[in-house]
Amino acid sequence: MAAVVVLLAALLLPAAASAAATPGVNGSTRLSNEWTFTRWAHPVRRVPIRWLPMPHARKIVPTHFLTEDGFPEVYPVLRSWRDSRHHTWLEVRIPMRPNGRIGWVRRSALGPYFRVRTVLVVGRRRLRATLYKRGRPILRTPVGIGKPSTPTPAGRFWIREKFRTSDPGGLYGPVAFGSSDYSVLSDWPGGGIIGIHGTSEPSLIPGRPSHGCIRVRNRAVRRLWRLMPIGTPLLIRSGS
């Protein structure tokens, strides 16, 4: 167990170091480590997300209220910083193409913080997912991922939505989760969002049968439904 914690800490340090080096934000306060605790919020105002915590910094994209499926949008909050005019800015992960964008938004643009202590790690080589809570594994399960022509993109993402499907015995199983990971299929229905869902073909797990989504056997996806809340960080790794 100690070795696992050390390994995952090593994976998280480069991202933390990169964030701390952002120009103009010395003295920022970390609000999430995306491992044992993560804060997130729904947007309450449509305002620009900017490259830096400055009113005239370059715009990336506006905040938006709903996901592609019509659920309230989720913005993980990484750090806070107060400028010389005593305005508080938040560094957030942005659900958009290309994957991996981060920017700054005024605190007033987001609602109250929610907090989660879980993280889901998916290994593309071993075809295995592990759900951690407070740094300890609480669920391990084999998965099916994208085929070589439509791979499941690796990176740091999060769970934006969860819902019950209309046909528990159907193609997508009883429940599904929507993530912030966008697939290579930009013209796919719903914008090509990578989902995590059950399956009517459990014999294909573990494997690489999908268009990018992560398939989980129905028994395991029901457990994920109980254990994995909205806002949970999702780490998809290439090498394990």
How far apart CA 89 and CA 110 sit, in angstroms, is 10
8 A C-beta contact, residue 107 and residue 86: no
Segment 92-109 shows an average pLDDT of 97
| pLDDT > 60? residue 13 | no
Confidence of residue 191 (pLDDT cuts 50, 70, 90): confident
Give the helix/strand (H/E) hosting 4: helix 2-20
CA distances from 160 to 75, 151, 229 (A): 8, 20, 9
What CATH class is the domain 28-115? mainly beta
| pLDDT > 70? residue 232 | yes
| pLDDT > 70? residue 23 | no
| pLDDT > 80? residue 133 | yes
pLDDT at 189 (0 to 100) = 58
CA distances from 214 to 2, 10, 97, 173 (A): 28, 25, 19, 12
CA distances from 178 to 53, 86, 107, 203, 235 (A): 29, 36, 25, 23, 14
How far apart CA 78 and CA 32 sit, in angstroms, is 5
pLDDT at 16 (0 to 100) = 42
Sign of the dihedral defined by the CA atoms of residues 44, 45, 46, 51, in that order: negative
Residue spans of the domains in the chain: they are 28-115, 117-237
pTM: 0.89
Mean pLDDT of all residues belonging to the chain: 90
| pLDDT tens by residue, 136-174 | 999 999 999 999 999 999 999 999 999 999 999 999 999
Q: What percent of the chain has pLDDT over 90?
A: 84
pLDDT at 134 (0 to 100) = 98
| pLDDT > 90? residue 12 | no
* CB-based burial, 217-233: b 16+ in 10 Å, e otherwise: bbebbbbbbeebebbbb
What CATH class is the domain 117-237? mainly beta
